[in-house]
Amino acid sequence: MVNICPCAFVLLGLFVQSILALWPIPRSLVGGSTPVKLSPSFAIDLRNMHDPPPDLLAAVARSRSRLVSDRFQRLVLGRGASDADAIARARTLDSIVLALCPGSFIRSIAEETNQPIDSKSESYQLQVPTDGTRATLMANSTLGLLRGLTTFEQLWCDYKGVKYMLDGPLRIDDEPAFPYRGFSFDTSRNFYPVSDILRTIDAMSWVKLGVLYWHIIDSQSFPLEVPAFPELSEKGAYSLDEIYTQDDVQRIIKYANERGVDVVLEMDSPGHTTAISAAHPEHVACASKSPWSKYASEPPAGQLRIASPSTLSFAHTLFTSMARTLPSTMMSSGGDEVNLPCWEDDQQTMADLARRNITIDDALNEFVQTVQDVIVEHGKTPFIKSDMVLTHNVPVVSDTVVVVWQKSEDATAVARRGLRLIHQPSDHFYLDCGGGEWLGNDVLGNSWCDPFKTWQRAYSFDPYANLTTQQLSLVLGGQMPLWSEQSSPENLDPIVWPRLAVGAEVFWTGAILPDGLPRLNPNATASTHALARFNELRYRMVDRGISAIALQPKWCVLRPGECDLGS
């Protein structure tokens, strides 16, 4: 546990059952029943911090603005009007003081965000008094201050322009249960403008999601401008208007880092690479070959010629060209769903194998080693998809992080190999499931991962299921993905939000709620428990311009408990 100003941070294990509806719920939360309201001239004071980083000043400015502009009203019958008497007698809070603990390094939020995944400090302590003194927010890092500001913003409801809470005095001691809490975003199958990605990053930051795992290329399109190979996007993108230039990529990374979101670029390979053939057909086997179902998991078929020395050199340069531009200490080579018949039916691949006297397994091992070596040489931790390890038994470097995606039970097999992992199970977390078949000429077809993954299904996930005590430290966290076969800018917000925020609570709060109950207790998703808080989060997001889908009829939202099964 990382302490706030050593010896001061203690998980108290107490919780006040009241209107507080924070998401993710803090690890420790103690409150009262005294109303507090913000002064019209409420100030956020950076005390004892000489020359604060510009991105911290910007975060403070955003919080000041949102404390004025947020118009969320409490979700009860009568809404804010029901609290008018309490607001009238509430004590006024004039300011909050933000401070780093003595001896803390003063680094920018972006610098803290790009620390190694197991070295980030996100803990904070927040106190809101009711005696007329200032609120305080203490942390060991600027990233911790950012997380605390996010919590502080969620405390307040609005009524006729007055911001108030009913739960003072309040103390929160908080830190994440897992360092990795992410969103895997496919922007290749359908293109998303930069503005959509930035808006998504904003919402991620509001719920303390700390990683954007960016699936930026795939078989259908290659929208990434690569400095060493500009022709890949010029010929492989859907159009010249649907390319992420290097300026776009750096803008997105900078924007994310300043909001506490690390960006992990996934260059999926050797499969899912058909789009490369538009510029370099010499490197791609079975490109758009028919029937696609024999050669790929979805159309179009095509994957890199792993036995070709020139293709290995190409992949080395491709990864090097991008790795040197990325500030994150993590990078992914993907690796899912490679197809053996694609190589077996490719004359050049079979000739290369024969000439070099190696097997497909040998070539696949060599390819993975080549790209992992590039990632490591650039000071980054390599990520790889679980089927590379479990299905193909590919050797990986010792600090590789495995993305467990096919089914949740695969985590135990990865852990038995002593490898670190993040959870991305299709049976719990896939945001795109349930939309039906997207392939034509399949009247009765369903998507491969049906049914729709409800927020309650995702919330039921246990990151430590079936793992031994010795294996628990291998779990870094998890992420929920959006694959974009049936998603685009038009439905981005409602298909992602608020369900993506479930991953934030699963991996921030962990196994135990602040009242001491297990997060997965029998009534966990009841509308007087997690659902009440989740409904509030959804309404707050809508208030801030996120088109998050409704979870219930408003009648139910305003009457917690009356729409539960068996009520």
Give me the active site residues, please.
337
Name, in order, each residue with C-beta under 8 angstroms of 231's C-beta and a sequence gap of 6 or more: 279, 280
Q: Is there a contact between 405 and 424 (Cβ–Cβ < 8 Å)?
A: yes
Distance, in Å, from the CA atom of 122 to the CA atom of 274, rounded to the nearest integer, reads 40
Output the six-digit token pair for 477: 């966290």
The count of other CB atoms within 10 Å of the CB of residue 58 is: 13
Picking from 220, 254, 207, 181, the residue whose alpha carbon sits closest to that of residue 483 is 220
Distance, in Å, from the CA atom of 478 to the CA atom of 461, rounded to the nearest integer, reads 11
Picking from 144, 126, 142, the residue whose alpha carbon sits closest to that of residue 134 is 126
Phi/psi-derived region of residue 406, left when phi > 0, alpha when psi is between -120 and 50, beta in every other case: alpha
Cis peptide before 179 (omega within 30 of 0): no
Output the six-digit token pair for 18: 């009241």
Distance, in Å, from the CA atom of 266 to the CA atom of 279, rounded to the nearest integer, reads 20
Indicate the pairing of strand 303-304 with strand 420-423: unpaired
> Residue 482 pairs with which residues in a beta bridge?
185
Match 């870094």 to its residue by tokens: 476
Output the six-digit token pair for 270: 């050797």
Distance, in Å, from the CA atom of 4 to the CA atom of 6, rounded to the nearest integer, reads 5
Q: SS3 helix, strand, coil % of the chain, rounded to 5?
A: 35, 20, 45
Which amino acid, 89?
R
Q: How far is CA 220 from CA 123, 129, 216, 303, in A?
A: 41, 55, 11, 12
Distance, in Å, from the CA atom of 147 to the CA atom of 129, rounded to the nearest integer, reads 19
Name, in order, each residue with C-beta under 8 angstroms of 65's C-beta and a sequence gap of 6 or more: none
Distance, in Å, from the CA atom of 513 to the CA atom of 16, rounded to the nearest integer, reads 12
Which amino acid, 32?
G
Q: Is there a contact between 353 and 363 (Cβ–Cβ < 8 Å)?
A: yes
Output the six-digit token pair for 483: 């694959």
Give per-residue burial for 289-323: e unless 16+ CB within 10 Å, then b: beebeebbebbbbbbbbbbbeebbebbeebbbebb
Distance, in Å, from the CA atom of 321 to the CA atom of 225, rounded to the nearest integer, reads 10
